[in-house]
């Protein structure tokens, strides 16, 4: 039986977590200005794992699943996301495009777990797909694509990696999400460091490590502690108290905080086409998440 939790506490905590995760995209955009993106992702997971791994109990899951989760989420999702933003993807719009993970998760669940793909899943996928297509063709005032195609492809692949990690979580069953984040964070640092040294250059890695600024250190600290440990810790606490069905819909607010914080702090502007594309993606996501409830209520 779950503990009672007042509505103001539920809403307030959920808003805090989604704000932390939405603002996360601004922090990434700031961080990759001074630190190569793969190295930044590496340092994020180093601090997320150490020293927390000595105080947080390892989740009851096999090492194979734990390692696979760390590779898909850490190397796959965040390696691609950080690089996409470094290559020119706007932080706010990245927070919207990454939500394609919900549809990839549904499709992969059909393929590997035999789950049903209902009408609202299909409708949501079509609507969001139109939004992604519009986002890909939308241009800025100077005539250039707002989201460069290489960055858009990387963001979609990052969403696919996230969805793959979601399927591994489903295979694990009931698991402590904070423990999962801390212990799986042991996996990405070495692969990310090797990829950074190879693709971004050993000189760039050495320079970033030896000449750290307060801005880069602050970005790494935010990504590791506030976004990862505090964010997932509070999210897990809410799920334990109220259940996933009551908490999960609040994740739709992450792109809202992502777009608004990028507008306020980075000066990212949105044209009517941007707003229409973002609206289609978020609208499709809402149909995907809530459509089944309306159907069952009829």
Tell me which of 290 and 178 has the higher pLDDT.
178
Residue 209 lies in a domain: yes
pLDDT at residue 288, as a whole number: 78
Q: What percentage of the chain reaches a pLDDT higher than 90? A: 45
Task: Please indicate, yes or no, if residue 291 is contained in any of the structural domains.
Answer: yes
Q: Is residue 2 part of a domain?
A: no
Is residue 1 in a domain? no
Exposed (0-12), middle (13-18) or buried (19+): which is 214, by Cβ within 10 Å?
Answer: exposed
Looking at the predicted structure, is the pLDDT value of residue 8 above 50? yes
Look at residue 37 and tell me if it is in a domain: yes
Highest mean pLDDT out of 70-74, 122-126, 274-278: 70-74
More confident residue, 250 or 163: 163
In a domain, 43, yes or no: yes
> Residue 292's pLDDT band (boundaries 50, 70, 90)?
low
Alpha-carbon Rg for the chain, nearest whole angstrom, is 19
Q: Count how many domains the chain has.
A: 1
The pLDDT tens digits for 241-271 are 776 666 767 777 888 899 899 989 998 887 7
Cα–Cα distance between 179 and 269 in angstroms, integer? 38
pLDDT score, position 1: 45
The answer to the question of residue 112 being in a domain is yes
pTM for the whole thing?
Answer: 0.88
- Residue 187 domain boundaries: 7-297
């Amino acid at each position: 039986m779950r503990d009672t939790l007042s509505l103001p506490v539920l809403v307030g905590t959920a808003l805090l977590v989604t704000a932390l995760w939405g603002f996360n995209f601004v922090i990434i955009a700031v961080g990759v200005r001074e630190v190569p993106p793969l190295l930044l992702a590496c340092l994020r997971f180093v601090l997320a794992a150490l020293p927390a791994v000595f105080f947080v109990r390892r989740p009851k899951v096999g090492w194979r699943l734990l390692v696979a989760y760390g590779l898909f989420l850490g190397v796959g999702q965040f390696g691609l996301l950080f690089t996409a933003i470094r290559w020119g993807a706007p932080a706010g719009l990245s927070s919207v495009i990454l939500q394609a993970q919900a549809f990839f998760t549904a499709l992969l669940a059909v393929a590997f777990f035999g789950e049903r793909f209902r009408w609202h899943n299909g409708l949501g996928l079509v609507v969001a797909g139109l939004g992604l297509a519009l986002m890909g063709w939308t241009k800025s005032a100077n005539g250039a694509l707002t989201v460069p195609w290489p960055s858009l492809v990387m963001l979609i692949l990052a969403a696919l990696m996230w969805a793959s990690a979601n399927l591994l979580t489903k295979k694990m069953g009931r698991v402590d999400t904070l423990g999962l984040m801390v212990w799986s964070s042991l996996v990405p640092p070495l692969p990310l460091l090797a990829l950074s040294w190879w693709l971004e250059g050993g000189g760039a890695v050495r320079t970033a490590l030896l000449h750290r600024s307060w801005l880069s250190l602050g970005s790494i600290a935010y990504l590791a502690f506030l976004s990862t440990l505090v964010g997932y810790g509070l999210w897990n606490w809410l799920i334990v108290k109220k259940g996933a069905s009551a908490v999960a819909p609040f994740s739709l607010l992450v792109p809202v905080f992502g777009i608004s914080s990028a507008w306020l702090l980075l000066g990212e502007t949105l044209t009517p086409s941007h707003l229409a594309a973002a609206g289609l993606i978020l609208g499709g996501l809402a149909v995907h998440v809530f459509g089944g409830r309306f159907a069952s209520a009829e």
